[in-house]
């Protein structure tokens, strides 16, 4: 494989790692697209063979999808585990790799933080504090409580490892029945409706695609017990958001922590803002302080392999 490549970084804020990449690969031409217009112009003018694609607010998914479909592109390194922003993989002719696993332990840390918050009622005490109410709220330990992980890739396993340290009982939902030491039980999704009534925490870790669109439905929310909590740090589209709003408004479940939404940023008119049994964060649960540099370091390692003609890490499409 030729040593020289034209690389396009698709990101509205690449300054934290751009110099490092440029110095590591002096024989490659590295360009940057910080918005939709620049992306369109660079794809037309530079004809890059390699895309380093960051999902970000400054560049639309529509523009990223259009870039990914260009015939000049031979390889796309997605900066993250999710790749729905580059469109339908079946319509792409290039190799695709992800950064799955790079930030898994940090996302798992946030999920555990949310469970601790919801379980003890820290958010309730915050609400009481604002009203100067001094009232004790009942709670029970996470030890022995049942955690259902829907999706058991890098992130699901990382959550399981941390949850086990608290003595939780862990059931993993996977597409195939493969035993794992990180879960007490492994089931397929056809068992969900029978598992939900006995579950204390449900945490979603599914990729978003046509098959998982509104996967967690009103029927599933109604199957949960009223004392249970729901956590979604995957993608907004895997939950029927209208059904979630109804379930929280009517207290069909005790509460939820949601980091991802159908529309991002979340509009001020969205009823989710008004729910006092919901914790919200702005699609940032795994964004540890140096997350951008960590993705860039993974890309650099894969780029070294690409230039040497070696197998890439985290290939999801050949």
- Cα–Cα distance list, 51 to 10, 198, 285 (Å): 7, 45, 25
Q: How far apart are CA 253 and CA 52, in angstroms?
A: 40
Helix axes 104-120, 154-165, angle to 10 degrees: 50
The structure tokens 């069909």 sit at: 252
Judge whether 49 counts as a catalytic residue. no
Please give the DSSP secondary-structure letter assigned to residue 300.
H
122: enclosing H helix or E strand? helix 122-130
Q: Are 206 and 238 in contact (CB under 8 A)?
A: yes
Tokens describing residue 257 = 């922590």
Which of these is catalytic: 11, 124, 235, 241?
235
Judge whether 294 counts as a catalytic residue. no
Which of these is catalytic: 283, 289, 294, 318?
283
Which stretches of 175-239 are DSSP H helices? 192-195, 218-223
Q: How many residues does the chain have?
A: 318
Judge whether 55 counts as a catalytic residue. no
201-204/146-150 β-pairing: parallel
Which of these is catalytic: 264, 289, 293, 294?
264
Q: Are 59 and 33 in contact (CB under 8 A)?
A: yes
Q: How far apart are CA 271 and CA 269, in angstroms?
A: 6
Tokens describing residue 66 = 């259009």
* Residues assigned a catalytic role: 235, 264, 283
């Amino acid at each position: 494989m030729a040593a020289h490549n034209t690389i396009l970084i698709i990101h509205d804020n690449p300054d934290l790692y751009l110099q490092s990449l440029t110095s590591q690969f002096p024989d490659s031409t590295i360009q940057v697209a910080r918005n939709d217009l620049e992306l369109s112009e660079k794809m037309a003018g530079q004809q890059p063979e390699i895309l380093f694609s960051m999902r970000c607010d400054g560049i639309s998914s529509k523009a990223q999808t259009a870039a990914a479909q260009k015939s000049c592109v031979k390889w796309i390194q997605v900066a993250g585990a999710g790749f729905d922003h580059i469109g339908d993989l079946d319509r792409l002719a290039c190799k695709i790799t992800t950064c799955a696993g790079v930030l898994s332990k940090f996302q798992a840390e946030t999920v555990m933080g949310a469970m601790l918050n919801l379980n003890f009622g820290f958010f309730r005490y915050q609400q009481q504090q604002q009203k100067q109410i001094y009232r004790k709220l009942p709670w029970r330990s996470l030890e022995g409580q049942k955690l259902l992980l829907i999706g058991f890739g890098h992130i699901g396993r990382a959550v399981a490892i941390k949850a086990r340290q608290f003595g939780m009982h862990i059931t993993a939902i996977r597409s195939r029945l493969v035993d794992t030491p990180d879960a007490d039980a492994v089931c397929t999704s056809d068992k969900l409706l029978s598992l939900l009534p006995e579950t204390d925490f449900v945490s979603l870790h599914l990729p978003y695609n046509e098959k998982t669109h509104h996967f967690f439905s009103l029927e599933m929310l109604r199957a949960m017990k009223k004392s249970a909590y729901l956590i979604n740090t995957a993608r907004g589209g895997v939950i029927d958001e209208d059904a979630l709003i109804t379930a929280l408004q009517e207290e069909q479940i005790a509460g939820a922590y949601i980091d991802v939404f159908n529309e991002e940023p979340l509009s001020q008119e969205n009823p989710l803002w008004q729910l006092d049994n919901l914790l919200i964060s702005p699609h940032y649960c795994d964004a540890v302080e140096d997350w951008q540099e960590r993705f860039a370091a993974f890309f650099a390692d894969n780029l070294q392999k690409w230039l040497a003609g070696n197998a890439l890490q985290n290939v999801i499409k050949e």
